[in-house]
Amino acid sequence: MQRQLTFAFLGNEYRSEAIAPYLEQAMSFLAAHHAQLFIEPETLEQVDFVLSMGGDGTFLRAVNRIGAREIPIIGVNMGRLGFLADVHPEQFLPMLSEVLAGHYTLENHTVIQLHATCSAGEWNPFALNDIAILKRDTAAMIRILARVDGALLGEYQADGLIVATPTGSTAYSLSNGGPIIVPQSGSLCLTPVAPHSLNLRPIVINDSSKIDLEVESRSHSFLVAIDGRSMKMADGVQLSITKAQHVVKVVKLQGQSFFTTLREKLMWGVDQR
């Protein structure tokens, strides 16, 4: 006898009224197909799939909850852009039907990890999108010395530096002039934020590299944002960024393409003339 599949629902609490009808449909549909759905469970143990319903922020929070468990995630877009959560609400039930039938693929997305020579208390060092080193508020530019696999890359006099995964290449890095990187390309991008030099441009490196960073600031402190989760750190802290040992598994229907998402969400290559 086939084991009953279990789904966990993680949603955007601020969109609860809009989400409620779809959630009710999902509960009825899954129950009719002998599958279980748990709403905002305290634990994700024994969960086969996570349903993230909201926007990309909700998707990232779901990734944070999943951690290193590598539970496949289905992102349903109830927000605006929905680049990560790319399933339209009207496609939700048909997609669940395909998942139950096994007609899907799992797309592995690189995760990066921050290591710091300080005690930062309770914090999650993993990022699906990016890790950004940033100046604080109205402080002057910061100085970031970057090394890749022990070799000096350069000194950044800038408002910050973004280390982005292929997934994150269409987020904060793209807004700062970084390139779009195709998933599973095995690379990372270092993108400066408002650099005080014409000689500092985004650079793409192998994702097996270790990135070491030293930061100096006139305010003697700076910010580290891990997928938008910010914390303050003091000058002198040694930072390093590496690829994590786990990945984020995203459920894709057969035939879904990254380039289709680019065209639909970012209007890539669309000529309005």
Binding annotation:
56-57, 61, 129-130, 159, 170-175, 194
191: number of Cβ within 10 Å: 28
From residue 25, alpha-carbon distances to 30, 70, 134 in Å are: 9, 26, 43
Residue 221 CA, chain-centre distance (Å), reads: 25
Classified as helix, coil or strand, 210 is coil
Q: Is the dihedral of CA 104, 54, 69, 26 positive or negative?
A: negative
Q: Which residues are annotated as a binding site for NAD(+)?
A: 56-57, 61, 129-130, 159, 170-175, 194
* Catalytic residue chosen out of the listed positions 48, 56, 207, 271: 56
Residue type present at position 215:
V
Query: 54 vs 15, 228, 244, CA distance in Å?
Result: 7, 17, 26
56 is an active site residue:
yes
Using alpha carbons, list the distances in angstroms from residue 41 to 32, 58, 66, 185.
21, 15, 12, 34
Question: Between β-strands 160-164 and 151-158, what pairing exists: parallel, antiparallel or unpaired?
Answer: unpaired
Beta bridge partner(s), residue 142:
158
Secondary structure element (H or E) that encloses residue 64, with its range? helix 56-66
**The token pair that represents 145 in the structure block:** 């010395």
Residues 6 or more apart whose Cβ sits within 8 Å of residue 153? 146, 147, 190, 203
CA 114 to CA 228: how far, in whole Å? 13
User: Which residues are annotated as catalytic?
Assistant: 56
